[in-house]
């Protein structure tokens, strides 16, 4: 058996034994490595780290306050009040805020995408998003501006805690998990940092109390 066949054999064996109990047994046999100690105020830590990554962080706000806050932000950035969002945002009172909304996957010509967040990671100021029929990843990836709604109760200390929460609430890993750490950036060309090369160049995180 060559190396390639050995790798695929291990994958097939793993896929045959990935029930919940087997996964828990596997995790119990592999102790978690050391993690940095964070202060108890995870919201402040998340805000500070996300801001250093050049995200804008607002709130905490109630769900009722979100549409108006987004409208003000769009006006400040001289952006149109037209957004595409995840279906779960349809119940917000967008009309009173003067915001036009379409709940669908994003297209290349959409300028603003509004999403929820599975959880926020305080250690790094990172957002964790899961892909799915009700959470299309294009809404956070294609528009130039990404607006993410993050309940403060969904802020965890470390990335490991995010995966613990995923296993607890979903039991299995979705097709894709996207981590957002500020606007997209690259320094491939002449070592000059350029925002928006591979995704949004503007990220607004609205902390919510719901």
Q: How high is the mean pLDDT of the chain?
A: 87
Q: Are residues 7 and 105 in the same domain?
A: no
Q: Are residues 26 and 44 in the same domain?
A: no
Q: Are residues 47 and 8 in the same domain?
A: no
Q: Could you give the percent of the chain with pLDDT greater than 90?
A: 66
DSSP 168: H
Across residues 91-116, what is the average pLDDT?
96
Q: Are residues 109 and 9 in the same domain?
A: no
Ramachandran angles phi, psi of 167, nearest 5°: -65, -35
Local confidence band at 142 (pLDDT 50, 70, 90 cut-offs): very high
Q: Are residues 196 and 116 in the same domain?
A: yes
Alpha-carbon gap, residue 124 to 106, rounded angstroms? 27
- The length of the chain in residues reads 210
Residue 94 in this model has a pLDDT that exceeds 80: yes
Ramachandran angles phi, psi of 128, nearest 5°: -115, 120
Across residues 118-131, what is the average pLDDT?
96
Confirm if 101 and 83 have CB atoms less than 8 A apart. yes
Across residues 38-58, what is the average pLDDT?
94
Phi/psi region, residue 176 (left: phi>0; alpha: psi -120 to 50; beta: rest), is beta
pLDDT at 187: 54
The CA distances from residue 142 to 17, 125, 208, in Å, are 37, 21, 24
Alpha-carbon gap, residue 90 to 99, rounded angstroms? 12
Q: How many CB atoms lie within 10 A of CB 103?
A: 16
Domain of 70, CATH number, reads 3.40.50.10420
In this structure, the strands spanning 82-85 and 100-103 are parallel
Residue 27 in this model has a pLDDT that exceeds 80: no
Domain that residue 26 falls in? 1-31
Confirm if 81 and 74 have CB atoms less than 8 A apart. yes
The count of structural domains within the chain is 2
pLDDT at 10: 80
Residue 13 in this model has a pLDDT that exceeds 90: no
Local confidence band at 40 (pLDDT 50, 70, 90 cut-offs): confident
Q: Are residues 17 and 67 in the same domain?
A: no
pLDDT at 183: 85
Q: Give the tens place of pLDDT for each residue, 148-203.
A: 999 999 999 999 999 999 988 987 778 899 999 988 765 555 555 555 466 688 99
pLDDT at 195: 55
């Amino acid at each position: 058996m060559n190396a390639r066949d050995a790798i695929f054999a291990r994958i097939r064996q793993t896929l045959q034994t990935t029930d919940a109990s087997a996964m828990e047994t596997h995790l119990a046999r592999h102790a978690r490595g050391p993690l940095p100690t964070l202060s108890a105020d995870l919201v402040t830590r998340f805000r500070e780290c996300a801001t250093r990554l050049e995200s804008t962080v607002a709130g905490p706000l109630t769900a009722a306050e979100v549409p108006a806050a987004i409208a003000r932000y769009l006006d400040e950035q001289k952006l149109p009040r037209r957004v595409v969002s995840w279906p779960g945002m349809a119940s917000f009172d967008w009309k009173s805020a003067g915001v036009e909304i379409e709940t669908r996957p994003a297209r290349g010509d959409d300028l603003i995408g509004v999403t929820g967040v599975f959880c926020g990671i305080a250690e790094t100021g990172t957002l964790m998003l899961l892909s799915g029929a009700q959470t299309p990843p294009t809404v956070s990836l294609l528009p130039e501006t990404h607006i993410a709604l993050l309940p403060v109760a969904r802020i965890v200390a470390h990335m490991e805690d995010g995966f613990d929460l995923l296993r607890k609430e979903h039991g299995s890993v979705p097709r894709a998990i996207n981590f957002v750490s500020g606007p997209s950036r690259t320094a491939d060309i002449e070592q000059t940092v350029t925002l928006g090369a591979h995704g949004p160049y503007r990220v607004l995180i609205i902390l919510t109390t719901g």
